[in-house]
Amino acid sequence: TIWRDWTNKRGIMAALWHWGMPSNDGSTYTCTPGSAPEETSFSPSAIFDPSSAGYREMIRRIDQIATWMKPLQAARVPILWRPLHEAQGNWSDANPGNDWHKAWFWWGIEGPEAFVELWRVMYDRMVNYHGLTNLIWVYNSGDSMKWYPGDEFVDVVAFDFYNQTLSSMHGWYDFFQKNYPGKIYAISEFGNMPKVSDIWADGQYWSFLIPWWDNARTSQPGSSAFNSTDHNNANIDYWKDALEQDFIITRDELPNFR
């Protein structure tokens, strides 16, 4: 399997759950909330009612994911687990749910209370019911602490950076240090941001970073596409800079976790 091959090479597993619910016309699955046929009207607030069909459906799907993860636990494989990502979307304290200030995934569309409860129920179900102890829980932060599930339910606090300047990234790093003291900070997605060497020199010590991937380009090392400098997310010049830094840890420097 892919995960076994990767971990045998000392790679670290990271998993994102892009959780789709049935669309309103029942023809496909989607994360996008709304009333259109191709969107979903699924209500995350069902998590407050254990007797509801919505609650049972969420538990069923959490159980399914937990079952898939159990072989990795048996193989002693740790997973950077980032569920319910980017929940806050464009929601803000000043404009909660008004106009364009809304979540763009269904798990955040009804605000922070339902999201926090869903996160905590998922945590309890996976950790305490299913006994998964190999999960490193990565919370995808926004600018409001109302969405934070709580220190006991989160190991890593992360942000997704796209088209950011060094100054704007520093502002987020300061926000994390102020509001999440003692947590590990990470860049869970990025595209078109400053070089790693500049970020580190600026005093931003993110634990890991994951580019928004271009599989067609990166699956063929040595190809002209792979060596292109016009890739928006992380071109070849970005990677050359990253791999030249002493603080970047490569697979050959990692211990054998298994």
Task: Please give, one letter per residue, the 3-state secondary structure of 183-240.
Answer: CEEEEEEEECCCCHHHHHHCCCCCCCEEECCCHHHHCCCCCCCCCCCCCCCCCHHHHH
Q: Is 113 a catalytic residue?
A: no
Q: 156 in helix, strand or coil?
A: strand
Q: Which of 115, 106, 96 is nearest to 33 (CA)?
A: 106
Rounded CA separation 85/103 (Å)? 11
Check residue 23 and report its DSSP letter.
-
Q: Which of 192, 201, 77 is nearest to 132 (CA)?
A: 77
Measured between alpha carbons, how far is residue 152 from residues 7, 37, 258 in Å?
27, 38, 27
User: In which residue are the tokens 């595209």 written?
Assistant: 191
Q: 98 in helix, strand or coil?
A: coil
Q: Which of 38, 117, 189, 244 is catalytic?
A: 189
Q: Which of 38, 57, 86, 244 is catalytic?
A: 86
Q: Is 189 a catalytic residue?
A: yes
Rounded CA separation 183/256 (Å)? 25
Whether residue 138 contacts residue 81, with contact meaning beta carbons closer than 8 Å, is answered with yes
Catalytic residue annotation: 86, 189
